Amino acid sequence: MSESPKPAPAEGKLGVLTPGMGAVATTFIAGVLAARKGYAKPTGSLTQMAHIRLGKRTDDRNPLIKDFVPLADLEDLEFGGWDPYSDDAYAAAMKAGVLEAHDVEGIGEELRAIRPMSAVFSPRWVKNLERVDQVKDEASHMAQAESLMEDIDRFRAEKEVDRLVAVWCGSTEAYEEPSDVHLDLDAFEAGLKANDERITPSQIYAYALLKMGVPFANGAPNLTVDIPALVDLADQEAIPIAGKDFKTGQTLMKTMIAPGLKARMLGVDGWFSTNILGNRDGEVLDDPESFKSKEVSKLGVLEHILQPDVYPDLYGDIYHKVRINYYPPKGDDKEGWDHIDISGWLGYPMQIKVDFLCKDSILAAPIVLDLALFMDLANRAGKSGIQEWLSFYFKSPQHASGLYPENDLFIQLTKLKNNLRHLMGEDLITHLGTEYYDEG
Ligand SMILES: NC(=O)c1ccc[n+]([C@@H]2O[C@H](COP(=O)([O-])OP(=O)(O)OC[C@H]3O[C@@H](n4cnc5c(N)ncnc54)[C@H](O)[C@@H]3O)[C@@H](O)[C@H]2O)c1
């Protein structure tokens, strides 16, 4: 096993930049501010609430993760970002409708002080957003990237932050397949200069951020850093990257239930997932091209967990369908239905129905926090390139070529915790358990 690189301490302030300051980003920021003031617990965040077992079960060592690895303190976070709408974080949070005004009263001043910077934006990639009021007008993609780099420098100086991380919380971009402009860094940089229309806004941000030494995690299903050119750039600059698509709501449920069915060798004949939601994300996803990005990211999950090629009798003929329906009255309160046709002993059919009345941004916000803190940790530990150990947080985890992604939530959690143990020079936990019974 490779030598574990000890992370440098988290000294000074950490700036968290979110391209996209809508429902998820503002819910994340509001939650951190509220937790700092003691108004609320950071529920849903592993970095703040989870413990990690170290050593044997009999050792009684079970510290909080945040006491075990050197993470930035919530008090030391500064927030910034970009959005094509100029609303400050308070106004954006109120428009998003996730949080009630009375819940943000005590932090209103801090939220109002957070104003997004002008965005690199194109309606070619995100439709259904109207009357945007602050979009960069530099003529080329490269000039836009340089303008973002100036923003990053200015933010760093004004907020006096020592380190930065970025988490993409922007709208889902239209579906695209990687093409030659994405395949190597030279072609990508030439494409930035030549305004190649296959380069998306999120890729321009990622390029600028990586060039500035800022780790980048992608919360949306668009490709962004999941292309060879930007993987190469991350390796070259020795910067961590991760993606894609926060694992919340229906897919979170799917990656909890499917491993259980497979563990018991129960068959799955069909899985129909549909949901209604009425927030801006839902409006963007009403556009078929953006929905296609989401659909691809959601569909892959079952295949990788159930392995139909390994278990053709149980999962070889599964019918998997995913639907998202924009329904404004629901606001951010998503309702997701799953209808699962399973089969057991002698092939007898059974059904499972799930009706999850969830709040998307409430589930996504702690993921933004954990990703920001863990990506900063990875950077201080000298980890660069794809951070597959953070698969836990993603619907469609980015991984090295030649591998399949690990989608089972419980394997992902074990992987994450073992990576933390490895980082700190602790023994990995294999759950072998023989040490408690061997007579020595
Ligand atoms: N909420 C969840 O549970 C969840 C789960 C998985 C993924 N996501 C993804 O996270 C992203 C954010 O979700 P949300 O609910 O906050 O959506 P939202 O629509 O409330 O916020 C997205 C924001 O991004 C902005 N934006 C669009 N293009 C941009 C650009 N080029 N540069 C900067 N800003 C840009 C929009 O103006 C908007 O304010 C979406 O892509 C969504 O698919 C969300």
**Domains contained in the chain, number:** 2
Q: Which of 281, 284, 324, 359 to mutate to test the pocket of ligand 1 (most atoms within 8 A of CB)?
A: 281
Distance separating alpha carbons of residues 251 and 270, to the nearest angstrom: 15
In a domain, 4, yes or no: no
Q: How far is the CA of 170 from the centre of ligand 1 (A)?
A: 4
The response to whether residue 280 sits with its C-beta less than 6 Å from ligand 1 reads: yes
Atom of ligand 1 nearest to the CA of 294: 43
Residue 81 and residue 117 in contact, taking contact as beta carbons nearer than 8 Å: yes
Q: Give the pLDDT confidence score for residue 219 in this predicted structure.
A: 98
The edge-to-edge listing of strands for the beta sheet with 163-168 is 77-82, 14-19, 163-168, 216-218, 240-242, 385-386
Q: How far is the CA of 335 from the centre of ligand 1 (A)?
A: 19
Q: Are residues 217 and 294 in the same domain?
A: no
The crossing angle, in degrees rounded to 10, of helices 201-211 and 185-193 is 110
Q: Which tops the pLDDT comparison, 14 or 330?
A: 14
Q: Is residue 436 part of a domain?
A: no
Q: How far is the CA of 295 from the centre of ligand 1 (A)?
A: 16
Q: Do 122 and 218 share a structural domain?
A: yes
Which residues, other chains included, contact 155 with Cβ-Cβ below 8 Å and sequence gap of 6+? 15, 17, 80, 117, 161, 164
Q: Which of 317, 341, 358 marks a domain boundary?
A: 358
Alpha carbon of 22 to ligand 1 centroid (Å): 6
Q: Which residue has the higher pLDDT, 360 or 191?
A: 191
Please tell me if the CB atom of residue 393 comes closer than 6 angstroms to any atom of ligand 1: no
356 burial type by CB count under 10 A (0-12 exposed, 13-18 middle, 19+ buried): middle
Is position 399 within any domain? Answer: yes
Rounded to whole angstroms, the Cα distance separating 168 from 393 reads: 13
- Please indicate whether residue 406, judged by its CB atom, sits closer than 6 Å to ligand 1: no
Q: pLDDT per residue over 343-386, tens digit each?
A: 999 999 999 999 999 999 999 999 999 999 999 999 999 999 99
Q: Which atom of ligand 1 is nearest to the CA of 85?
A: 37
Q: Please give the model's pTM, rounded to 2 decimal places.
A: 0.96
Placement of tokens 């993470």 in the chain: 71
If you take atom 39 of ligand 1, which residue's CA is the nearest one? 22
Which tens digits make up the pLDDT trace of 74-97? 999 999 999 999 999 999 999 999
Is 243 a pocket residue for ligand 1 (Cβ < 6 Å)?
no
Q: Which atom of ligand 1 is nearest to the CA of 19?
A: 33
DSSP secondary structure string for all residues of 106-154? GGHHHHHT--PBPB---TTTS-S--S---B---SSHHHHHHHHHHHHHH
Element (H, E) at 36: helix 23-36
Does 438 map to a domain? Answer: no
Residue 342 CA to ligand 1 centre (angstroms): 34
Same domain for 131 and 183, yes or no, is: yes
Classify residue 27 as exposed, middle or buried by CB count within 10 Å of its CB (0-12, 13-18, 19+).
Answer: buried
pLDDT at 283 exceeding the cut of 90 = no
One domain for residues 227 and 319:
no
Is residue 9 situated within a structural domain? no
CB of 169 closer than 6 angstroms to any ligand 1 atom: yes
pLDDT of 5 over the 80 cut? no
101 and 20 inside one domain: yes
Tell me if 6 is assigned to some domain. Answer: no
Q: Indicate which CATH number applies to the domain containing 316.
A: 3.30.360.10
| pLDDT classification of 440: cutoffs 50, 70, 90 | low
Average pLDDT of 388-412? 94
Rounded Cα–Cα distance for residues 251 and 122 (Å): 28
Pick from 358, 380, 412: which residue ends a domain? Answer: 358
* Whether the CB of 359 sits within 6 Å of ligand 1: no
Ligand 1: which of 24, 137, 294 to mutate, judged by most atoms within 8 Å of the beta carbon? 24
320 and 367: one domain? no
Alpha helices in 221-248 (DSSP H): 228-237
Mean pLDDT for 63-69 is 98
Atom 12 in ligand 1: which residue has the minimum CA distance? 169
CATH of the domain at 201: 3.40.50.720
274: enclosing H helix or E strand: strand 267-277
H or E element that contains 336: strand 333-343
Please tell me if the CB atom of residue 364 comes closer than 6 angstroms to any atom of ligand 1: yes
Please tell me whether residues 408 and 349 are part of one structural domain: no
pLDDT band for 2, please (50, 70, 90 cuts).
low
Say how far apart CA 155 and CA 169 lie, in whole Å: 18
**Host domain of residue 299:** 250-358
Instruction: Evaluate: CB of 219 within 6 angstroms of ligand 1.
Output: yes
Q: Give me the helix-helix angle, 409-423 and 249-263, nearest 10°.
A: 100
